[in-house]
Structure formats: structure tokens, C-alpha cells
């Protein structure tokens, strides 16, 4: 999966390897559900989960901008996700690569 010029490798295959964007999204969401349902609330797992989920937002923003803007206007999901990540310091600012949007300020 790509966002801007960066290729992200999918860890859903045992060892990280390239994966289609939809495959990456499915594997990442499966990972997040599994971690949350197991009750693992360690900071390390939340940071990893947030990093992986953010990459999905970045891919959609850079490769499917109209879809991103339509959904963000309707749900503010990205804005709420970024606020949560910043509030609990789950992602360093250097990893937040989508430009500031009016909804994320």
C-alpha cells in the first residue's frame, strides 16, 4: 500500500511484505479487532494500531481524495481519530502526513 511516495508493508502475512491497499486495510482492521477483543490495552499495541490505521487514512487521502473529503465532511472520522491520537500521544506528529484540515484544528 502506498501513501504519497511511501510504500507500507503489511504485517498480516507473518513477515511484512507488500500488499494491495484493500488487503492492507482488511488485515489492519482484523489486527485492531483482535487486539481490542483480547483486552490487550498496553500502550505499545495502541501505538502500533494507531500507526497502521493512520496509514489507511493517508492512502485514501492521497489516492482517493474525493472519497476522503466526502466521508470526512459527513462523519469527521479522520478529525476524531487524529484528536484521539494527539490527546493520548499515540502517534508522533512526524507520522501525521495529511495536511491540517479545518476539522482537525
The three-state secondary structure class of 6 is strand
Cα gap 14→75, rounded to integer Å:
34
The per-residue pLDDT for range 1-23, each reduced to its tens digit, is 677 777 788 877 778 888 888 88
Q: What is the pLDDT of residue 43?
A: 80
The per-residue pLDDT for range 32-69, each reduced to its tens digit, is 888 888 876 778 888 988 999 999 999 999 999 999 99
Cα gap 14→16, rounded to integer Å:
7
The per-residue pLDDT for range 61-95, each reduced to its tens digit, is 999 999 999 999 999 999 999 999 999 999 999 98
Cα gap 71→103, rounded to integer Å:
12
Contact present, 28 and 56 (Cβ < 8 Å): yes
Q: What is the pLDDT of residue 69?
A: 94
Q: Indicate if the pLDDT at residue 105 is higher than 60.
A: no
Amino acid at each position: 500500500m502506498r501513501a504519497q511516495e511511501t510504500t507500507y508493508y503489511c504485517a498480516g502475512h507473518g513477515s511484512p511484505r507488500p500488499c494491495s491497499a484493500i488487503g492492507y486495510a482488511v488485515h489492519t482492521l482484523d489486527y485492531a479487532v483482535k487486539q481490542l477483543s483480547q483486552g490487550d490495552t498496553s500502550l505499545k499495541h495502541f501505538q502500533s494500531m494507531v500507526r497502521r490505521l493512520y496509514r489507511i487514512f493517508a492512502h485514501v487521502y492521497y489516492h482517493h481524495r474525493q472519497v476522503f473529503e466526502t466521508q470526512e465532511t459527513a462523519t469527521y472520522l479522520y478529525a476524531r481519530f487524529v484528536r484521539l491520537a494527539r490527546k493520548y500521544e499515540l502517534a508522533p506528529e512526524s507520522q501525521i502526513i495529511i495536511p491540517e484540515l479545518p476539522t482537525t484544528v
